[in-house]
Amino acid sequence: MYKIFFKRFFDILLSLIAIMVLSPILLPIVLGLLFTGEHYIFYFQERIGYKNKKFNIYKFATMLKDSPNIGTGLHTTLKDPRILPMGSFLRKTKINELPQLFNIFLGSMSIVGPRPLVDKTFSPYSEFVKKNIYNVKPGLSGIGSIIFRNEEGLLSNSTIQLDEFYKKFISPYKGELELWYQENISFYTDFMIIFLTIWVVLFPDSNLVYKVFTDLPSKPDFLK
C-alpha cells in the first residue's frame, strides 16, 4: 500500500511544505544566478523517468549552457572549468537540485527513488536493470545518490576514459543499489534515505549508510 497511495501522498505533502519553507532561501539564489555567469537561472534537461518515459527535470543552472558539447560532456569532474561562479557551492550542497521539488509536486518524480538519467548514462546499465530500474518514480535522492555522493571525485581520479570507468565500475553497482531499493521500499527506508541524504552533505566521508542498511549489496573495492 505504501508504494502507491501513501508514497504519493507524502511526496505531495513534503514537496509543498519544502517549497514554502525554502522560498526565502531560493530567492537570493535566483538573483545570484541572474546577475552572474551566463545570467540564466534554471536548467531543463530531458531525463528517463517512470516506466522509462522521458520528462524534463528542473535544476538551478550550475554550468555553461553548452556544457554537454564541450569538455568531458555529460560527465562532470571536480574543479570542472565549465562550472559557473555559484555552481560549485550549489552542487556541493545539492541546492541545485531543489527546483525538482516542483517535479515531485507535479508527479513526474518522488522524494526518494533512483536518480533520473540521460540516455548516455542510462545505456551502460545491463538490460535487466534498464527494464526494471524505473518501475518506481525517479527521486530527488536515493540510495545510489548517497553511495555515489562523490561521483565527480571518482571520475576525476580515474586513470581510464570516463565513459569506460562509468560503464565498468559505477553503473553495475549503482544498478544493484537501485534494485535493492525496490525490494526494500518502505516508509522506514524512505525516511532513512532522506536522513542520510542530509547526513552525507554535512559529513561527506561518513559510511553510516552501510550501518543503517546492513543488507546493501557488498561495497566494491573501488569505493573502499
pLDDT digits (tens, 9 = 90+) for 151-200: 878 887 777 888 898 999 999 999 999 999 999 999 999 999 999 999 99
Report CA torsion sign: 208, 145, 65, 104: negative
User: Measuring CA to CA, how many Å separate 199 from each of 28, 37, 76?
Assistant: 24, 30, 23
Least confident of 43-52, 75-84, 201-210: 75-84
Residues in a beta bridge with 178: none
- Residue 218's pLDDT is 93
Task: Name the region of 142 (left: φ>0; alpha: ψ -120 to 50; beta: rest).
Answer: beta
Q: How confident is the model at residue 94 (pLDDT cuts 50, 70, 90)?
A: confident
Run of H or E residues at 48: strand 42-48
Least confident of 25-29, 76-80, 136-140: 76-80
Q: For residue range 23-36, what is the model confidence (pLDDT) as tens digits?
A: 888 888 888 888 87
User: Measuring CA to CA, how many Å separate 25 from each of 19, 30, 35, 87, 117?
Assistant: 10, 9, 16, 16, 27
d(CA 206, CA 83): 26
Our count of domains for the chain comes to 1
Residue 68 structural domain: 2-223
